[in-house]
Amino acid sequence: MMRCKKTIPALFVAASLLQWTVMAAAYGSEKDGRRQPQVTAQPNVSRYEARYFIDPAKEPRVSRAALVKLLRKRIKYVFVIFNENHSFDNEYGTFPGVNGIYSDGLKPRSAARTPGFTQTYRDNLSGATVVVHPFRLGPGQNSSVMDSVDHSNEGMIAKYDVACGAPRMDGYARREYQRFAGAPGVRPTAAGQEEGTQFARLVMSHIDCDTIPFFWQYARRFTIFDNIFATEDGPSTPNAIAMISGQVGQTQWVKHPVSAGGEPETVGKNSGTLHGPPITGDSQPFYGSQFDTARVDREPAGTREHYKNGNITMNLTFATLPLTFQGKDIVKAMGGNLNPGLDLPDIQQDIPYIRNLGKEPVNWGWYQEGYDHEASDPPGVASHNSYVSHHNAAQYFGYIADTPAVRAGMHGLTDFFNALAKNSLPEGGVFYIRGGYLNLIGKKPVVTDPKTSAGEIAAIDAAKAGDDDHPAYSDRQLTEAMAARVINAVASSPKIWSRCAIIITYDETDGEWDHVPPRILAYGPKGLLSRGSRVPLILISPYARTHVVSHVEGDHNSVIETINYIFGLPALASLPDEAQALKKGDSRYFNRFAPAGFHQKHLGPNDIESQVSNSLLSGFSPRRLSGKARPLPASFALIPETVVNTFPHYGGHGCKEIGIVPEDVRQGIENNIPEGFNPLPGTYPATAHTDAVTY
């Protein structure tokens, strides 16, 4: 049995060294006794990028207040391309200059010093110890598609393998094996043994620029963040909710602790227990479900979603950005709510507080594929076939979904492209973009392995036509094509490009391995509550730094903080109802869910700049914002439509085309794909394709 020393876990000691001042040249984390700058240059700037590159060390030191003042002058639009389910290491673990699988961003790092690099599990048939290491998938393994692994709250806790308060990140392969083959000592079926083996390998795989060249090009030309985490340790719904609220319902839990177990609900013949916060699963939103009693203007329900009586979320009532977006008009907006007794009780203090600040309302839009009529639907018929309702954060809140003036911000994805084409997007604001189960351009998934059989192609075509990057149903290149269409549309409008910031990020990791242990911030009724593993985040703007990596620490609250700064909004954590819950959370009742001595200081939003939560301000160039350097041109972000719509992108040779040498290739690390590996064990279980990618 492991004995834990009575000291602060090493995880928190290391994390506390992260500095949160946003001065451009300030120093941040400690690595091998050296102080690492918050922002570092990526290696090997190209001749084209050199025209715009500004060495971070030569940027002027600017206070946060001064930087915010410049941002408010320059930025009027924020677009958040919100993708699904990939870890940072899975997509950018070999990106040059980041804290990745084989390097800390400054120099190579050994496997022995990389948490979870060596994963083991015991084979239930032979009793032997099986070792799994990271390996790269490329076009030779149809790397544009993969199957989803376990990303449940319970599964992620097992994968973190927390010891003495610190995640060891070494339980990924073991968890995947055991969920099919069973716990040690259980003799599995042959099918379970094989599937467990394949998923134990799959969870340790990663890709590079041959598979997602557009995303890597954006990361190279602008700012990539390598220390941003999911707010919750899984799965998708809580992290979608966190993108607009900075929490997964801790405020509501603190106010109504009994509701954590759910509440019985009966409508007609339907009866079940609603899932109460904190939200740790993928239950469906209350509005649009069978328990929603609205007779007109009901929220949509995705045709492929699971609306079982026991899989519905309680109406959520804590503060979000769409609430603070109402500004001085909030009383009028909330006056139109159709069910105030259900929707408004937990924001009673927030509403007058927001009104009294006297802020101008902020335009907003949540554009999600399948929400309403799409270009891929028959004329006049909204099929909702591509709609993933448990990804629509706004639909979970009654004061949004059941308030006409606020609900007007919810749209389908076609509406976004039409608004830009017709120049009818609101003047300034915050706009979220999400894909879905299908794709608007009617393309099939990208199959690049020439050995793929006709039956396998048919299975992939049926399973992977989505464009939000979720491994269960999406294709990576369809996803980056959707993102490129969004960015091209924005960059093609001079009045919008010149005043915009675009954020590409993810909800959570799908349970894929990442080596960086997340900081543990809270515990809930089911145990470990937050935070989740690292997710990718790229900042694109004419005022962004180019060819750099930001190492500041944060999660979805970082996006919220940045929006707060740009639009002068109050922090959600500062609102009266949320602030009171944050204070009440550090009490005997709630501390009992955590290990002895742990204080629950984060049961609510964390969108106030601190050691645990940094904004994205470090990704902006002070020289560009101040006018001392020219803004980045739209052409820097554009990818020609002919390239976007030609699959596979760059013929499967993206690294060569965009001129990036991944870190493993640079170091000459041999790529060892396990013998007999099947990259799609759930899609076509009986096949193995093992040819490695060569450069």
Confidence of residue 35 (pLDDT cuts 50, 70, 90): low
* Euclidean distance between CA atoms 615 and 75, whole angstroms: 15
Query: Do residues 624 and 542 make contact, with C-beta atoms less than 8 angstroms apart?
Result: yes
User: Comparing 6-20, 581-595, 621-635, which segment has the lowest mean pLDDT?
Assistant: 6-20
The arithmetic mean of pLDDT across residues 65-81, rounded, is 97
pLDDT value at 252 more than 70 = yes
Kindly report, residue by residue over 141-176, the tens digit of the pLDDT.
999 999 999 999 999 999 999 998 899 999 999 999
Three-state SS letters, 644-688: HCCCCHHHHCHHHHHCCCCHHHHHCCCCCCCCCCCCCCCCCCCCC
Helix ranges (H only) for 376-449 are 398-401, 404-407, 413-421
Position 4 confidence tier, pLDDT thresholds 50, 70, 90: low
**Contact at 8 Å (CB) between 29 and 72?**
no
**Which fold would CATH assign to domain 6-108+208-247+317-661?**
Alkaline Phosphatase, subunit A (3.40.720)
CA-based nearest residue to 435, from 484, 388, 489, 492 = 388
Is the pLDDT at 3 greater than 70? The verdict is no
- Residue 688 pLDDT > 70: no
String of b and e for 46-80 (b: at least 16 CB within 10 Å)? eeebeebbbebeebeebeeeebbebbeebbbbbbb
- Are the C-beta atoms of residues 300 and 307 closer than 8 Å to each other? no
Q: Tell whether the model's pLDDT for residue 23 goes beyond 80.
A: no
Q: What pLDDT, on a 0 to 100 scale, did the predictor assign at position 355?
A: 98
Q: Which helix (H) or strand (E) segment is 82 a member of?
A: strand 77-83
**Per-residue pLDDT reduced to its tens digit, 405-433:** 999 999 999 999 999 999 999 999 999 99
State both tokens at 162.
């927390």
- For residues 526 and 42, the model is more confident at 42
What confidence score (pLDDT) does residue 8 get? Answer: 35
Q: Which token pair is 197?
A: 């083996």
